[in-house]
Each structure stands twice: as structure tokens, then as C-alpha cells.
Amino acid sequence: MKRSVLMVTLIAVMLTVPDSAVSVPGRFARHQVKVFFSDADATDCSKTLRFTRWTSGRDVLDDALNWLSRGPRKGERADGASSWFSKKTAGMIDDVRIEDGTANVDLDDVRKIMSGASASCGSASLLANLNKTVLQFPAVDRVVYSLEGSADAFYSWLQMDSPPGNG
């Protein structure tokens, strides 16, 4: 009988706690993050679709980018999502730091895997996926990307100038 009452009490408590704040002792709280993939049906290359992911890590920005790096799921692709990110790029986020409102995101050298991303529409699509995923977090005002530590390598690949002071 005591076990039944305890179980009913536990279930009642679980039902009153919002899912976004679920925490297990010894683990981190679960957080809902968004990842943004390109809208395959849009004529505007920077148009995105938003999808939800759950993370229980300490660094939600890093977790969100790692979800993004895996690309859209099969059902999301069926719903019109597309991206330069895929199973081939999963785990290619090397480092993520936020300093004074600037997110510094370092990627593995993805130029061979994402060779078409350097075209104008390709870079607009890639940057929309990245920027919308990164800039959803209030602690981030701007973002600088790099390939294996080089912002110049990232931005020259996309035929853009590096942000000032970040070469």
C-alpha cells in the first residue's frame, strides 16, 4: 500500500513539473532548443524552417549546433527541410565559446563535404541555418565562424570578408 501511495505521489509531482525543467539528480536539466534548416520549397535561399530538439547538456548552444550538424531528420526532409548539414557533417563542431556577447563557432574543415555552399545561394542557406540556430540565445549578439581556428578560411570560402578583428 505504501509503495502504491508513493508511486501515485511521484506521478502527480511529475505531471505538475513543466517538461522544459525536468531534472534528474546527478544530471542536467532538459532544455528545448531550436535548429533551423533551409526551406526546400522557398525561392529565397535564406528562408528556414524551425525544428525542436531536446538537450540535457550544460552548454545548450554547443548542443544546438551539434544537433544542427547532423542535418534534418527523415520526417523533416519529407516536410520540406533541406540543409548542407547531414550525417556526413555530424560532430564537425569543434569549439563554441561566447565572449562579451560574441559566439565564436569553430568547425572542422567542411569545404570538401559542402563544396556547393560557397555559391551565393549556398552560402545564404548555410549562414541562415547557422545564424538562426546561434542567435536564438539571448547571450549572443553576434557570431563569428571559423574553420579549424581560421575565420579568414571560413569567410573566404564563402566569398565574404572576415568580420573586423577576427582574421
Are 118 and 157 contacting, i.e. CB atoms less than 8 angstroms apart? yes
Are 69 and 85 contacting, i.e. CB atoms less than 8 angstroms apart? yes
Query: Is 145 domain-assigned?
Result: yes
Query: Is 4 domain-assigned?
Result: no
Query: Is 117 domain-assigned?
Result: yes
Residue 103 CB burial class (10 angstroms; 0-12, 13-18, ≥19):
buried
* Cα-to-chain-centroid distance, residue 123: 17
Query: What is the structure's pLDDT at 100?
Result: 95
Higher-confidence residue of 57 and 15: namely 57
Residue-number span of the structural domain to which 96 is assigned? 23-157
Query: Is 13 domain-assigned?
Result: no
Query: Is 2 domain-assigned?
Result: no
Query: Is 83 domain-assigned?
Result: yes
Q: How many domains does the chain have?
A: 1
Query: Is 134 domain-assigned?
Result: yes
Return mean pLDDT, the chain: 85
Query: What is the structure's pLDDT at 14?
Result: 40
pLDDT band of residue 166 (cuts 50, 70, 90) is: low
Between CA 136 and CA 94 the distance in angstroms is 20
Q: What is the pLDDT of residues 112-122, one digit of tens each?
A: 999 888 888 99
